[in-house]
Every structure is written in C-alpha cells, then in structure tokens.
Amino acid sequence: MAYGSGGFRGDRRDQPKEYFKTKCSDCGNECEVPFKPTQGRPVYCRDCFKKHQPEGRSGGGDRRRF
C-alpha cells in the first residue's frame, strides 16, 4: 500500500528543478513554474492552476480530496 509514497523520488534530490518566473494569466501574480512558459499559452499560479484544472463534472467542488 505504501507504494509511491516514498523513496520513489529520491534519486532526483540533488538535481533541483529549474523554475521559470512568469506571471499568472489569471490573477496576474508572479509565480514560478517548473517548465518554460510558452508564449501565447496561459500560465497559472498554483491557486489558479487548481481552479482551471478540469475537475470531474459539475457540482463537485473540492470533494475529490482524500
């Protein structure tokens, strides 16, 4: 059951991901994303990313968390 909850990402520890500073296309806040922002494509901060993520169907809210 404990699969994937630990020890899985250990080997990338000393290789920090590269973050790119950009502006959130929604709220306009500065944010950092782990990928190179592509021009013309919206980039969202963490909060807005969640908002824009396609969730199940309508009427779900935040109920899908464990």
The residues binding Zn ion (CB under 5 A) are 24, 26-27, 45, 48
Nearer to Zn ion, 14 or 30 (CB): 30
Min dist CB 9 to Zn ion, Å, is 26
Min dist CB 42 to Zn ion, Å, is 10
Nearer to Zn ion, 26 or 55 (CB): 26
In three-state secondary structure terms, 54 is: coil
Query: Cα separation of 49 and 65, whole Å?
Result: 16
Nearest CA among 63, 25, 62 for reference residue 45? 25
